[in-house]
Amino acid sequence: MENRRSIIIDTDPGIDDAVAIAMCLFSDKLKIELITTVAGNVDIDKTTDNILKLLKFYKKDIKVAKGSSVPLIRKPIHAKNVHGESGMDGYDFGEVDYSPLLSENAVEAMYKKIMEINNKITILAIGPLTNVALLLKVYPEVKEKIEEIVLMGGSLSRGNMGVLSEFNIHCDPDAAKIVFNSGVNLAIAPLDVGLKALVFPEDSAKIKAMNKSGEMIYSLFKHYRSFGLRNGLKMYDSCAVAYLLKPEMFEIVDTFVDVEICGEYAVGATIIDLKNYLKREANARVCIDINQEMFKDWLLESLNKCNID
Ligand code: RIB
Ligand code: CA
């Protein structure tokens, strides 16, 4: 366990979440202290069931805390059209084992974990930011113990849920605004790098042939309607993990980031001020480009480690 980076994963699994989480579970550089769930791709009961299914499948003993079922203010949305009705369609995980599920909600569990461990902790946020925003508002004292919030979200350009808004931020723009203005170190893997972090059919075939985990992931891929197997499946959330484990694959800039929360057409749009028009102090490290080959090699190498006997 020496020199492992302590992390909490906040997630809305989600097929691309599942791939990202699998690589975290088998990384010798990370110590997963807690996994918290949030509504996003599907509702909170399903995202919570899905993480429990993955932990049972991978035989990992990690505590889980259930988080917010709704955004801070706005009505819930979902992405069943991308991830299927269950959020992880395509593989029969059998009965859900609820024993890892804590009685506390995600915010309480995150607070307790962050305050109890001696070292600083990194929050890996790969879903809407509702839980993280609530944590920072209810318990601001955690800020000095958070090394960094590494999140998949936002867009340098166009959106995938709104004209200019990416799904995680679009789900809860108010939460994103709280997180972006929290003063905590931020690292962001926006849509633009996810759109280049693609798994093509030849890659899916390699993943399928790896091991039982690869077979499961391949089964999920066949139901992941994010561009489709032939055109390349977008590994959005794995980009946030890649920032943690192999940041050299990215071009990264320090810049000012905020989010629109009012207006007629652009609510949820992330303002990533690469040209410093706003003359605001940088508050985030933003991945603005990715070495696609380096990503692919890293993804396949990392998934190959996700072996269960
Ligand atoms: O826009 C992509 C993000 O939305 C990913 O985190 C995906 O899992 C969905 O939550
Ligand atoms: Ca996600």
The single-letter DSSP state of residue 236 is H
What is the Å distance from ligand 2's center to 126 Cα? 5
Fill in the amino acid letter for 34.
L
Q: Which CATH architecture has domain 5-304?
A: Alpha-Beta Complex (3.90)
CB-ligand 1 contact for 152 (6 Å cutoff): yes
CA distance 159 to 166: 5
CB-ligand 1 contact for 33 (6 Å cutoff): no
What is the Å distance from ligand 2's center to 260 Cα? 21
Domain chopping of the chain, boundaries: 5-304
**Alpha helix positions (H), the chain:** 15-25, 44-57, 80-83, 106-116, 130-138, 167-171, 173-180, 191-194, 201-210, 212-221, 228-231, 236-245, 292-304
pLDDT at 86: 93
Nearest CA-CA partner of 253 in 277, 220, 286, 221? 286
What is the Å distance from ligand 2's center to 282 Cα? 25
What is the Å distance from ligand 1's center to 94 Cα? 25
pLDDT at 228: 67
Nearest CA-CA partner of 57 in 239, 199, 221, 215? 215
Give the relative orientation of helices 292-304 and 212-221 as an angle to the nearest 10 degrees.
Answer: 130
CA distance 236 to 295: 12
Query: Which residues make beta-bridge pairs with 290?
Result: 250
CB-ligand 1 contact for 146 (6 Å cutoff): no
CA distance 16 to 44: 17
CB-ligand 1 contact for 10 (6 Å cutoff): no
What 3-state class would DSSP assign to 77? coil
CB-ligand 1 contact for 40 (6 Å cutoff): yes
CB 166 within 8 A of CB 203: no
Q: List the structure tokens of 186.
A: 């931020």
41 CA: nearest ligand 1 atom: 10
3-state secondary structure 263-274: CCCCCCEEEECC
pLDDT by residue for the chain (309 residues), tens digit each?
A: 568 999 999 999 999 999 999 999 999 999 999 999 999 999 999 999 999 999 999 999 999 999 999 999 999 999 898 888 999 989 999 999 999 999 999 999 999 999 999 999 999 999 999 999 999 999 999 999 999 999 999 999 999 999 999 999 999 999 999 999 999 999 999 999 999 999 999 999 999 999 999 999 999 999 887 656 678 999 999 999 999 999 999 999 999 999 999 999 999 999 999 999 999 999 999 999 999 999 999 999 999 999 886
| pTM score, whole prediction | 0.97
CB 254 within 8 A of CB 285: yes
pLDDT at 307: 87
Q: List the structure tokens of 21.
A: 């989480």
